[in-house]
Chains A and B, each alone.
Chain A
Amino acid sequence: MSKALVVVKREFTEFVGKRTFLVATVLGPLLMIGFFAVQFFFMSQGGGGHHTLVVLDATGRGIGAQVVAAVSAEQPAAGPRRAAEYEASVQDVEEVRAGAARADLRARVAADSLDGYLYLPAGLIDGGAAIYEGKNATNSSVTSQLRAATQQAVQGSRLADAGIDPARLGAALAPVRLSTSRIDERGEQGSAEGALIMGMLMGFAIYLMVLLYGAAIMNGVVEEKRDRIVELVMSSVRAKDLMLGKVVGIGGAGLLQMTIWVTVAALVVINGPTLAGLFGASDEMVQELAANPILPTLPFSAVLVFLTFFAGGFFLYATVYSILGAIATTAQEAQQLVFPAVVPLILGFFMMFTALENPDSTIAVVGGLIPFTSPLVMPVRVAMTGVPPLELALAIGLLFGTAYAMIWVGGKIYRIGMFATGKRASFRDVVRWIRTA
């Protein structure tokens, strides 16, 4: 068996054998389902309530009565929210007496016999502002319902003034639906939405993987130095193979955990409507969820590209972490070096958005080739436009080539850094190590 493989086996089994791995693997999906449940629970607890209010109408056009009719009718449930109940009455008033009437209503609000009142001034139809004053004026579900009801009544009056039938206007203004899909040379289809979701997923997945397992790799390297094991091991295996084994071993364990999580997540999403029903979503909500699946369908080739770049991106950043571990003398010190190391990942995010707008822009093309950003940019481009196979191959080659080169450099740094305990190596030291090792 190759030495690197022996190291891979050790790192993998040690990582998977840890209690924390088991706990995280089981708890991860539980947390995911828990979030799903909690989200629906909280949403269902929002809204609702009983509101007593008076509509003070100075328009003389019966707007107030329409508003009261609209809010008094049973409110449709918004998502899993419970509908609010209104107890509203109209009070017509002449504009000149409005001041006294409002003062009276304010006193009733203060005395708690009323939650609030809506004042509709005479100039409302010509562009004047309606005024709502009440204890619940900061309740956005109340104010938005009142605004919607008032707007509908006012617009109806305006259309009637202009001699237009509101129903016919509504029909004329019905929105046009534009469904976008890409057709490339091979006739495959992909959508911008799919690309966006894939790109975002990729970014977060790599970031999460690097955050979770990069740190484990880094700490493993630091520990090997601290526990003085590295000298013993390096008399049997080359530093490069040791690094490779560590990155592939722990990375493999990470991929296993991620696969378990993704499988559970996929099951949750596929059975989302059923689960939502279980957690108290209304029937309409369940039907809506079922009609609009969260995950868009992607062509198989795009999924393959996604997985390739995901693995490449993760391993590239994992090697960066292993190098940080080789440079640092303590885990805390290594932690301080982490942020600069993930900056290129953030840059990749920005480039990805550029690629979403125009997949053939210079930034998108260049970003799709640079190894540190290509895992985010290239899959988006592939989903949105026809990337020449040669360019795709070049990007993949650069990505994996760089990851391997990083392991080689990391090995050199590891080999020299292991005896340089005590003080952290300066950047200059590290350059010298790479040159002389």
Chain B
Amino acid sequence: MNQDATLLAETPALELSGVHKSYGSFQAVHPLELSVPRGSTYALLGPNGAGKTTTIRMALRILDPDGGAIRILGRPLSQEGLDRVGYLPEERGLYKRMKVKTFLLFMAELKGIPRREAAERIMAWLERLELADRANGKVQELSKGMQQKLQFISTIIHEPDVVVLDEPFSGLDPINQQVLRDIIVELKAAGRTILFSTHIIEHAERICDHVCILARGRKVADGTMAEVKQTHGTEFVALRFVDGASHAARLRQLPFVASVREHGVEAEVALADGADPQALLEHLVSSGVQVRRFEVTEPSLEQVFIERVGAVEADAESQEVVHV
């Protein structure tokens, strides 16, 4: 490998700098910096309307940004770069009247894969996802679940270096959710970069090692999963009492407790800034409450999400009120 190639291999798989987009007077994406490291599984997390899909579409040249620069695999956005990307759009689409195999051949050829090589890969995938007997049937004759599988295959048939999945789990039945999860794990193991957009926090947390949280077209958190969680200064304690009661009212009165979330038999206590979890334990022991579980936990992504996104939303709403 020559030096230039080595250098390229170390550059981010996808890099956005100062990329922004507005539709009329609505700013969908404010100038955005995003760097997706090679081999990472990167979540683009945010509520609906946060600008996730617009960002992805700009990165894939489906939309033109109003400004900013986009680089894929170390080079400015180009057809060659895009040929190394696999895309599963949120709005799934297939040529309904084509034959299954012909459709996949078309998608592979569009990405520059020679016909014979594509044909072999297609049969392997169809067999793996139990669609081999439908290879010469029409797409529209497949069940919805089968069409979803077909869509997965079309996304990765050219063995892309970067896979972009926009809300991939929406509308999938549990079986296909598992199929997709297996594919993601496999891609990850093979060193592919995955950009995964979702509004479901649990998906991001379970699948991804990096996360960027978007709200109202702005980035509110970005980094590895651990980094993002650490930026949340608060410490949490998960509690369960022997008597099964939550004791929430009592806990809330303590000076070093910021808030308490009740989950039925368990409670989750957020400590005030700088408070020591030990103080809580001492208080509980001294007040004679029998504790079954006491665990200092790292903040969940959900907590970070609610705090960060909530702040932006509240800010936006207050501005809207001012406008009125």
- Of A10, A230, A236, which is within 8 A of B83 by CB? A236
Q: How far is the CA of A1 from the CA of B105 in the complex (A)?
A: 13
Do A227 and B62 touch across chains, with their CB atoms under 8 A apart? no
In the complex the two chains form, what is the Cα distance from A39 to B91 in whole Å? 54
Query: Which B residue's beta carbon lies closest to that of A1?
Result: B109
A272 to B60 CA separation, bound complex (whole angstroms)? 59
Contacts of A234 in B (CB 8 A): 61-62
Query: Can you list, as one digit per residue, whether each of B95-124 has a CB less than 8 Å from chain A (1) or not (0)?
Result: 111100010001101111000000000000
- The answer to whether B64 and A3 touch across the interface, beta carbons within 8 angstroms, is no
A233 close to B (CB within 8 Å): yes
Are A229 and B95 in touch, CB under 8 angstroms?
A: yes
- Distance of A237 Cα from B110 Cα, bound (Å): 7
Q: Quick one: CB contact mask for A194-237 with B, threshold 8 Å, 1 for yes?
A: 00000000000000000000000000000000011111111111
Whether a CB of chain B sits under 8 angstroms from the CB of A437 is: yes
Given contacts A1-B109, A6-B109, A232-B154, contact A14 B89 (CB under 8 A): no
Q: Which residue of B lies closest to A237 (CB)?
A: B110
Q: Are A228 and B92 in contact (CB under 8 A)?
A: yes
Q: Residues of A contacting B89 with CB < 8 Å?
A: 228, 231-232, 235
Chain B: minimal CB distance from A250 (Å): 14
Contacts of B69 in A (CB 8 A): none
Query: Bound complex: CA of A1 vs CA of B96, how far in Å?
Result: 24
In Å, the complex CA distance between A360 and B60 comes to 53
Q: Out of A228, A230, A236, which one reaches B110, CB within 8 Å?
A: A236
B93 touches which of A3, A7, A13, A232 (Cβ 8 Å): A232
A10 pairs with B106, CB closer than 8 A? yes
Contact of B106 among A6, A227, A231, A235 (CB under 8 A): A6
State whether the Cβ of A238 lies closer than 8 Å to any Cβ in chain B: yes
Could you tell me the distance in whole angstroms from the C-beta of B101 to the nearest C-beta in chain A? 13
- B79 proximal to A (CB < 8 A): yes
Bound form: Cα–Cα A234–B57 in Å: 10
Cβ of B82 within 8 Å of any chain A Cβ, yes or no, is yes
Inter-chain CA distance A6–B154, complex, in Å, is: 16
**Of B57, B94, B102, which is within 8 A of A229 by CB?**
B94
Contact B79 A238 (CB under 8 A): yes
Residues in A whose Cβ lies below 8 Å from that of B109: 1, 6, 9
| CB of B85 closer than 8 Å to a CB of A | yes
Name B residues whose Cβ lies closer than 8 Å to a Cβ of A: 57, 60-62, 64, 79, 82-83, 85, 87, 89, 91-98, 102, 106-107, 109-112, 154
19 contacts between A and B (CB under 8 A): A3-B110, A9-B109, A227-B94, A227-B95, A227-B96, A229-B93, A229-B94, A231-B62, A232-B89, A232-B93, A232-B154, A234-B61, A235-B60, A235-B82, A235-B85, A235-B87, A236-B82, A236-B111, A237-B110
Q: Which 8 A-B pairs have the closest CB atoms?
A: A228-B93, A229-B93, A236-B110, A228-B91, A235-B87, A235-B60, A6-B109, A231-B89
